[in-house]
């Protein structure tokens, strides 16, 4: 009995050794002769990986794509057949921004009335108005007259409402099997426009470590608060944004005053701003602040208009959205 057990154990070990040797041999053969033309990338040596990278980049088009900073970037080869499109400006020069395309640029309407104001009359209007006013005091204390940092930090919050509103309208459209009247795109465009404001001011002023930490806190609180407010009362949520945009207009007006007084240096406009707003090549920071302020005035109008639609007993889908209102 002992002999039988010992013999069977040896047989099992021998079989396992043979199986291991067979697998190891197959792996070695696959290194030399890839099965079906496929070889695991993790098994390549460093030199082979560099060779594969070079071949992939060459096959994908030579690596002429540009990064957002204008530098060269190798085209990423895609198994799925997705290729980076080489975009050019109207004058034929290469387009260097990946975050937006030439057909998304525009010239801001600087003739818009900056003094428009919605006088709060109802309870919800007054609630929205005084909520925004109460938020201005700590902002003034924290940033004081550092308008570059103030603009950059506030845009991290200003880009939230459009995304939240657009997301909720998107989900509502799916649940109800109905169109949105174009409002999903309008609100998402607003969020993207505010984000581009942030990308622009990042070129002018860099946030300190505690300001970055503040963004995490404020954005987290504001996102959830606005999400709940929009679920409870869209007319209140849009009215809040309308008043926030009125305060933004005021802040950028003060920014311009400091630039005109020389307190803040009127540096050349960032390249991203020149391309996004189609500004002249010799534009300055003052020109950028002017177009950003005009954008905020348009967002003010759109959100007050959206709130008015709800106040009149309608839904947003009942009134065509102001697409491309910039």
Catalogue all structural domains in the chain, each as residue range(s) with its CATH number: 123-318 (1.20.1260.140)
pTM of structure: 0.74
CA angle at 249 for the pair 257 and 109, rounded to the nearest 5° = 100
Alpha helices in the chain (DSSP H): 2-32, 46-60, 123-143, 147-158, 160-176, 183-201, 209-232, 234-261, 271-276, 285-311
Query: What sign does the dihedral 196-197-198-203 (CA atoms) show?
Result: positive
Neighbours of 25 (CB within 10 A): 10
* Cα within 13 Å of Cα(253), Cβ side: 10
Rg (CA), the chain: 29
* Dihedral angle sign, alpha carbons of residues 194, 197, 202, 208: negative
CA 98 to chain centre: 12
Rounded Cα gap, residues 7 and 10, in angstroms = 5
Backbone angles phi, psi at 284, to 5 degrees: -120, 180
pLDDT given at position 209 = 84
The pLDDT of residue 76: 65
What does pLDDT average to in each consecutive run of 10 residues of the chain (326 residues)? 46 50 49 42 43 48 46 62 80 85 90 94 96 85 72 87 96 94 94 94 83 86 96 96 94 91 92 94 95 95 96 92 74
């Amino acid at each position: 009995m002992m002999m039988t057990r010992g013999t069977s154990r040896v047989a099992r070990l021998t079989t396992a050794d043979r199986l291991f040797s067979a697998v190891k041999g197959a792996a070695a053969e696959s290194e030399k002769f890839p099965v079906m033309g496929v070889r695991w990338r993790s098994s390549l040596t460093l030199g082979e990986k560099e060779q594969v990278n070079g071949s992939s980049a060459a096959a994908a088009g030579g690596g002429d794509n540009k990064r957002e900073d204008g530098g060269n970037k190798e085209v990423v080869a895609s198994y799925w057949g997705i290729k980076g499109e080489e975009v050019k400006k109207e004058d034929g020069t290469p387009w260097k921004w990946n975050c937006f395309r030439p057909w998304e640029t525009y010239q801001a309407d600087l003739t818009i009335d900056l003094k428009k104001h919605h006088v709060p009359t109802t309870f919800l209007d007054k609630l929205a108005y005084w909520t925004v006013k109460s938020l201005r005091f700590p902002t003034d204390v924290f940033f004081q007259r550092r308008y570059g940092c103030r603009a950059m930090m506030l845009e991290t919050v200003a880009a939230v409402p459009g995304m939240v509103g657009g997301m909720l309208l998107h989900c509502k459209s799916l649940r109800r099997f109905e169109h949105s009247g174009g409002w999903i795109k309008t609100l998402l465009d607003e969020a993207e426009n505010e984000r581009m404001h942030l990308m622009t001011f990042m070129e002018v002023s860099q946030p300190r470590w505690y300001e970055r930490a503040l963004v995490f806190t404020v954005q987290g609180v504001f996102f959830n608060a606005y999400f709940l407010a929009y679920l409870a009362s869209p007319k209140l949520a849009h009215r809040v944004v309308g008043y926030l945009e009125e305060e933004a207009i005021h802040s950028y007006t003060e920014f311009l005053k400091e630039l005109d007084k020389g307190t803040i240096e009127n540096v050349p406009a960032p390249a991203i701003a020149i391309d996004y707003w189609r500004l002249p090549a010799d534009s300055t920071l003052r020109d950028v602040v002017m177009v950003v302020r005009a954008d905020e005035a348009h967002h003010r109008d759109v959100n007050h208009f959206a709130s008015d639609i709800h106040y009149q007993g309608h839904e947003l889908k009942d009134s065509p959205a102001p697409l491309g209102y910039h």
